[in-house]
Amino acid sequence: MSFSVSWLKSHTFHHREFSDLEALYRAKQRAGLKVSLCIPTLNEEKTIGEEIAVLKTALMDRIPLIDEFAVIDSGSTDRTAEICASAGVDFLHSGDILPRFGFKRGKGENLWKGVYQLTGDIICFVDADISNIHPRFVYALIAPLLLNRNTHYVKSFYERPLVHSSGDIRASGGGRVTEILVRPMLSLFYPELTQLFQPLSGEYAVRREVLEQIPFPVGYGVETSHLLDVYEHWGMGAFAQVDLDKRIHRNQSTSALGRMSFGILQSLLSRLRAQGKMTTSVEPSSIYRALEIAGPHYQEIKTEIIEEERPPMVGIEEYLQRFPRLPAATQSIIRGRANSPMGPPRSS
């Protein structure tokens, strides 16, 4: 499908448009929707306490836009668990959720387990490392879903200053993987999706009926695969995006971004093959190779990175028992679709 600026104009918002929280609460009540907030964590003691305090106070205690708040953790060894427990929100280790599937460390794993654990009709995901947290990181993302039933997946975008280890902040420079890897790939194969300013943003809100029908890579490929799957099955009209102004967080090293990019690239290639956009007779390597210089010595560092995927929730018996809203015959059909190579069909 060709690029059209009409989507960009009609599906892009600024958070100030949704600053009337009482109006949003009334819209939520009229729609009869339950909203859940999920924060995935791994050793986030520096920022998680402030995030919980700000979001819980504004969006649960003052105006109950959020009905449920949970932190899903990958096994933190710092004070993350202690801080969350004292803050009065649910804190769960992802390995304790759906235990027959075992434990896999990764952001996507936490999000997938969160879809099972949380019960909202809308689930908002927010990263745990934001140092300038504000309630807009949640209310501005759920707003388009509350106000327009045709919107299914809302992404955030913002200015991303680059924070150096010295504490100095550059006004721009964040979003490096997006501009160097993801945007070029989308330009080649999914030009419409280039209208999303930050396809890898970690803050987004989604309807459960979408989340339960798509697979979740356990690692950093989760955001990219979501976009491609939602686009393939629901079309560009399902998306919206909201400008949150600025997000300050912990920036990763170039070597860490290389490993992240390798996982994202695996998810991209997997979708390209599944959707018939690319064919290859060679199975891509799962070994990421980097070079290291230590004085006069040179060495190759090999890291195995496998972007394993968790299946759609509608194909899991425990999920259907926890959310028994569909007739048994319909559940059987959905399970068959979810387990097919192409996943659920695109709606009209």
The fraction of the chain above a pLDDT of 90, given in percent, is 70
Contact 133, 247 (CB under 8 A): no
- DSSP string spanning 227-240? HHHHHHHH-GGGEE
Phi-psi region of 280 (alpha: psi -120 to 50; beta: other; left: phi over 0): beta
pLDDT in tens, 190-225: 999 999 999 999 999 999 999 999 999 998 899 999
Q: What is the DSSP letter of 96?
A: G
- Across the range 142-168, mean pLDDT stands at 82
pLDDT of residue 330: 55
pLDDT in tens, 281-297: 788 888 989 888 888 88
Helices (H), 5-98: 5-10, 21-31, 48-56, 80-87
pLDDT of residue 338: 53
- Across the range 262-277, mean pLDDT stands at 90
pLDDT in tens, 58-116: 999 999 999 999 999 999 999 999 999 999 899 999 999 999 999 999 999 999 999 99
Helices (H), the chain: 5-10, 21-31, 48-56, 80-87, 107-117, 136-147, 176-177, 183-189, 208-211, 222-234, 254-274, 317-322, 328-338
Who's near 171: CB < 8 A, 6+ residues apart?
A: 159, 161
pLDDT in tens, 321-345: 999 876 555 555 555 655 554 444 4
Residue 254, pLDDT > 60, answer yes
CA 313/CA 158 separation, integer angstroms: 31
Angle at 41 between CA 38 and CA 44, to 5 degrees: 125
